[in-house]
């Protein structure tokens, strides 16, 4: 059962491997490294799949929904960070926790952005051979 979740044809396969949700052959983002996609000129965008020619922006404003996924992932990251800090460093001050969690969120933003778009498009597009 678990092996089936990670095999080609599943949405999790598309998200983890950064591939087109429809054909799962071509890359969704030009690079697999989220930091390179945002901070380094990568010579491309995520306009369409090079294999099946799927247009990624299904309609105008489609990516606004990914903003809500990004918000959810940011809150989840902050809560996990807070739990970790509270559990392992229980004597840490609230202001220090705020600074540490803010730093974690700033550093992890490219990763959150990368996966929020992958998650969002995989909600709407299914695998087709």
The domains of the chain are located at 2-124
* Cα distance between residue 77 and residue 112, in whole Å: 9
pLDDT for residue 45: 59
Q: What is the pLDDT of residue 78?
A: 97
- pLDDT at residue 44 in the model: 52
- Write down the pLDDT at residue 59: 87
- What pLDDT sits at residue 1? 58
pLDDT, position 76: 97
- The confidence score (pLDDT) of residue 99 equals 96
Rounded distance between C-alpha atoms, residue 54 and residue 126, angstroms: 11
Low-confidence ranges of the chain (pLDDT < 70): 1-5, 41-45
CB count, 10 Å around CB of 18?
19
- The tens digit of pLDDT for each residue in 23-54 reads 998 888 888 888 888 777 665 557 888 889 88
Token pair of 117 as six digits = 């778009």
Take residue 25 and report the two structure tokens written for it: 């052959």
Distance between CA atoms of 124 and 40, rounded to whole angstroms? Answer: 29
């Amino acid at each position: 059962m678990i092996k089936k979740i990670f095999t080609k044809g599943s949405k999790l396969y598309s998200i983890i491997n950064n591939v087109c949700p429809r054909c799962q052959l071509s890359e969704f983002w030009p690079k697999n490294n989220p930091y390179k996609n945002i901070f380094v000129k990568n010579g491309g965008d995520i306009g369409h799949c090079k294999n099946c020619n799927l247009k990624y922006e299904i309609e105008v404003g489609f990516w606004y929904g990914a903003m809500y996924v990004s918000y959810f992932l940011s809150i989840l990251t902050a809560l996990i960070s807070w739990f970790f800090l509270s559990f392992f460093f229980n004597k840490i001050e609230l202001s220090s926790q705020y600074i540490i969690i803010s730093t974690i969120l700033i550093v992890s933003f490219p990763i959150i952005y990368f996966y929020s778009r992958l998650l969002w498009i995989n909600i709407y597009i299914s695998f087709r051979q």
